[in-house]
């Protein structure tokens, strides 16, 4: 399956205390084994690394997690000036944070599901793209 994976799912997949841990972990395993293909904005590994580092994960552990995830069947989509304007419009239309709007815009562009654990995205993005929980 091909989809946009929000960083919230990747982060939840390494925190057993997260409510969506089991489902998030299953999604990540499917990516790492090549069963699923991701399309993600270039900020995806940055968001994951920042979130894991902020919660106390050592840099080496963060790298061991992030590197294979983005090396798996993953397409990293860059954000140039035109794309930034499109993402800005999505952010304004749906009243989303900038990074969240990038994932929504990408799901819209690719016409593929967006998988997220973020309640705000789940609630607001359904108006413009297919949204799924892990």
Domains of the chain, start order: 2-132 (3.40.50.1010)
**Interval 79-112: pLDDT, tens:** 999 999 999 999 999 999 999 999 999 999 999 9
Mean pLDDT score of the chain, rounded to an integer? 97
**Interval 6-34: pLDDT, tens:** 999 999 999 999 999 999 999 999 999 99
Q: Is the pLDDT of residue 73 over 90?
A: no
pLDDT given at position 72: 87
Instruction: Report the b/e string of 65-83 with b at 16+ CB within 10 A.
Output: bbeebbebebeebeeeeeb
- What's the CA gap between 48 and 90, in Å, rounded? 22
């Amino acid at each position: 399956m091909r989809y946009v994976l929000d960083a919230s799912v990747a982060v939840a997949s390494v925190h057993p205390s997260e409510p969506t841990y089991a489902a998030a972990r299953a999604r990540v395993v499917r990516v790492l084994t090549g069963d699923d293909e991701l399309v993600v904005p270039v900020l995806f590994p940055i968001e994951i690394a920042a979130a894991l580092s902020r919660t106390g994960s050592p840099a080496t552990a963060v790298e061991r997690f992030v590197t294979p995830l983005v090396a798996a069947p993953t397409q990293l989509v860059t954000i140039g000036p035109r794309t930034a304007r499109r993402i800005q419009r999505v952010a304004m239309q749906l009243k989303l944070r900038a990074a969240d709007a990038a994932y929504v815009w990408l799901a819209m562009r690719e016409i593929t599901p967006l998988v997220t654990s973020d309640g705000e995205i789940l609630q607001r993005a359904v108006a413009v793209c297919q949204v799924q929980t892990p």
